[in-house]
Structure 1
Amino acid sequence: MLEMQVKKKLPSFTIDLALSAGNELICLLGPSGAGKSTLLHMVAGLIEPDEGVIRVKNVSYFLKPAGARRGRQLPPYRRRVGYVFQNYALFPHLTVYQNIFFGARGSKEEIRREALYLIDLLRLQGLEQRKVTELSGGQQQRVALARALITKPDILLLDEPFSNLDELIRRKLRLDLLRVHRDFNIPILMVTHDLEEAYTLGGKIAVLDNGRILQFGTREEVFHRPQSRRVARFVGMKNIFTGRVTEVNPEKNLLKIAGNKFNVCLPYYPCQVGDQVVFGIRPEDIRLIRKGVELRKPVRDNVLNGTLVEMIPEGPGYRLFLKITPDTYDLEILVPTHVALNHQLKVGMELTVALKKSALHLLERAES
């Protein structure tokens, strides 16, 4: 269990945030300089907040009420914190086993059993007597993770642990981390800039900017129901529009909007006819429709026609740019490769698309 509510004045901004979590894996998302790593440093005791409270498993790591002249700061060595840094911080002159063994508490036999367990859990068998300089980046990262866990921490802090690794290794390490979380059942705070990584790993996601948490919730809430334009843009909701509410019907779960580019139907949201609002939809929630195909109810309300002006290969699919108005383009769409091939997509062709009503989300009221 983690509870923290802290303030810290920095040269460029002031950190002012509250975060409470159980034994969850929490991904911290946000632009560089948002305060993500500083948050980890405060939990670890490397940076002292100006005021607030940090409590892990009912142990106060920091306590200083607002206005108080003095507070209580538990020194880092007394905090049961595991910390994996971006650069691993391993001892190059020691073997894998010696690195894992370093800093462990308990009898030698107990530590040996725990080290062997972690070596098995993190797929390090056969590497125990190698120097860490002889290992690949992925292997070094697993050693760093094992070393952080052998202390039996009450919380695990990860500062962009996979950012220097290639994609294949990162995918394997994500599975390792999920196994660690399942077996240790402790809070994990993980800083990442990778949206896919956050969506895959984060039981909860916190989006930070300028020292504040803009939104904290489940992956579905943050990625599919962002609470503001800033959050939506950061988590990849590329299609964001403004419009005016023309109909509000809670009985039919309906909200109609006359957009600045096109008209749409959304699920009901409590607002008034005439309100100026901002709404959006993720690129992967827009469907391509074949001509002559009878549309089902979920996609019947928001059908648009446009011209494909660009298509870019992206991962296992394509990112499409569709022009509906005279603008350069109006919609970004993500489709799997097999869909692109089945539709024989080419730049310049006319397309019909559907914006699924349940996937459209009202972000905020627009500034008048």
Structure 2
Amino acid sequence: MLKVNIHRQKDFPINIQFACDLGELHVLVGPSGSGKTTALRSLAGLSDVSGLIQCQDQVWLDTTQKICVPTEKRSVGFLFQQYALFPHLTVLENVCIPLIARQVSSSDEGHRWLKRLRIADLANRYPHEISGGQQQRVALARALARDPKLLLLDEPFSAVDAPTRQNLYEALSELRQAVSLPIILVTHDLNEAIRLGDKITVIDNGVSLQTSAPQQLLDKPRNARVAELVGSPNLFRGIFESGVLSWGQAGLKLFVKDKGKIKKPTDVAWVIPSHSIEVINSDQDTHSYKNNLIDCEVIRVRQLGQIAVIYWQVKGCDDQIVWQASSNELKRLGITIGAHKKIYLDPDQIHIMPINPELIK
């Protein structure tokens, strides 16, 4: 397991904590300049930080014990965003560089990694003679040839086109089944993080705000800032007290599963996942719903292939609810611009959060 608890006060202050099990792919995600790459470089010993970094049975950093293992003695495979291949060396020679330091039979082991990454036929070519996706695989093979205890990936898919990116996703998936080590991936692409990550840590302004499984992160962000960073489309404000959420100027009442943590009327942020929003087809269907039915009007429909994004104006407040549905579902429910419908919000899925004053004024 990898355990990370690092901080720094000067220059760019950081306070980042997370853990990553063997065989797990852990994604660090956040806006540009948030501290993701600084965290990655800290693991490799390339950034000056304090705290604790422990990888499997080795302590690489423990400032309380005055331990700081230098970069060259940390067993780390690092895949840089720009690959950093040596242009004057062949593909095989690039992969064999770390093998020489390990005093391993470099040619045989290098070929083994090229075969594993499905690029054995490129062994005698030079970097400028192969595509960006192929260069990426060479760089990954070189990183793994070190037999590292930790693999670091710094936005490795940002410089390739969509088809190549898809192929690299598949290569990474296959690789995870063959090697059992912690993998830390940095990306600014939330969709990529959700697709690849077992766990995601959201970083903002040098601080780790939340670590969760992808679906939990989307459905239950820790606070309003996290909800904004992960692009929660239905992020609102209200007053919460004893299981009742008052929403909008008209004071719409929504019932929420009460965890008993808020004892008095409190200004809160709240979200609800799109999959927990139900459009009621007719007035007759409303009889089975006692609470959380709200009147809405369709004000915009944005078609995205077979999926449509519908914007509902909520009666009684200025907020709009965003909901996704298939084209067939739109036809079945008779959803067109100007249509009036009742929407049901699942009380078990409404998630109450503290307000970050910098986000919601």
Per the TM superposition, whether the score is higher than 0.5 is yes
Aligned counterparts, 1:228-267, within 5 A: 228-246=223-241, 248=242, 255-260=243-248, 262-267=252-257
CA contact (8 A) 1:25 1:187 kept: yes
Amino acid at match of 2:19: S
SS of aligned partner of 1:359: coil
CA spacing shift, 1:291–1:188, aligned 2, 3 Å: same
> Paired residue for 1:2?
2
Alignment of 1:165-314 (within 5 A): 165-246=160-241, 248=242, 255-260=243-248, 262-270=252-260, 271-272=262-263, 274-291=265-282, 294=285, 301-314=291-304
**CA distance 1:189–1:277, change in 2 (3 Å):** same
* Alpha-carbon distance in structure 1 between the residues aligned to 2:234 and 2:184: 30
Letter of the 1:21 counterpart: C
Q: 1:351 aligns with which of 341, 346, 358?
A: 341
Query: Which digits, 9 at most, give the CA deviation of each residue in 1:166-213, with x for residues without a partner?
Result: 233323322222222222111111111111111121111111111111
Q: Which one-letter code corresponds to 1:127 in the other structure? A: L
2:139 paired residue among 141, 144, 156: 144
Q: What SS does the corresponding residue of 1:103 show, helix, strand or coil?
A: helix
Shift of 1:259: 1.5
Whether the aligned pair in 2 keeps the contact of 1:48 and 1:73 (CA below 8 Å) is no
- Does the 8 A contact of 2:224 with 2:356 survive in 1? no
Which whole-Å CA distance do the structure 1 matches of 2:61 and 2:86 have between them?
30
| Structure 2 letter corresponding to 1:176 | A
**Partners of 2:308 and 2:338 in 1: how far apart?**
15
> Which residue is equivalent to 1:35?
35
2:94 pairs with one of 88, 99, 102 = 99
| Native 8 Å contact 2:248 2:319 kept in 1 | no
The whole-number CA distance in structure 2 between the counterparts of 1:129 and 1:230 is 50
How many residues are treated as equivalent by the alignment? 353
Please give the per-residue CA displacement for 1:199-229, whole angstroms capped at 9, x wherever unaligned: 1211111111111111112223322111100
Within 1, Cα distance between the matches of 2:114 and 2:295? 56
Cα 1:349/1:10, change in 2 over 3 Å:
farther
Contact 2:155 2:187 in 1 (8 A): yes
Equivalent position of 1:252 in the other structure: none
Matched residue of 1:294: which SS? helix
Distance 1:221 1:279 in 2: 15
What is the 5 A alignment of 1:76-155?
Answer: 76-104=71-99, 105-106=101-102, 109=105, 111-155=106-150
How much has 1:57 moved relative to structure 2?
1.8
Q: Which runs of 5+ in 2 are unaligned?
A: none
SS across alignment from 1:198: helix
Q: Give deviations 1:265-298, integer Å, cap 9, x for gaps.
A: 222321225333321113344233322573697x
Q: Is the partner of 1:145 in helix, strand or coil?
A: helix
Residue type of the alignment partner of 1:6: I
Partner Cα distance (2:305, 2:148) in 1? 37
> How far off is 1:16 after superposition?
2.0
Letter of the 1:20 counterpart: A
Q: Partners of 2:46 and 2:313 in 1: how far apart?
A: 51
Q: Is the 8 A contact 2:238 2:246 kept in 1?
A: yes
How big is the shift at 1:152?
0.8
1:322-357: CA deviation from partner (whole Å, max 9, x where unpaired): 111476651122223443454464333333333233
The reply on whether 1:62 has 2:61 as its aligned counterpart is: yes
Task: Give the TM-score, by structure 2 length.
Answer: 0.87
| TM-score normalised to structure 1 length | 0.85
Percent identity between matched residues is 30
Q: CA deviation at 1:36?
A: 0.7
Contact in 1 for aligned 2:248/2:316 (Cα 8 Å): no
Tell me the secondary structure at the aligned position of residue 357 of structure 1: coil
Deviations 1:11-34 (A, max 9, x none): 3x4112232332221110111111
Q: Deviation of residue 41 (structure 1)?
A: 0.8
Query: C-alpha separation between the residues in 2 aligned to 1:186 and 1:315?
Result: 39
RMSD: 2.8
Asked whether the equivalents of residues 36 and 186 of structure 2 are also in contact (C-alpha less than 8 Å), the reply is yes
AA aligned to 2:17 is A
Q: Aligned partners of 2:284 and 2:165: how far apart in 1?
A: 41
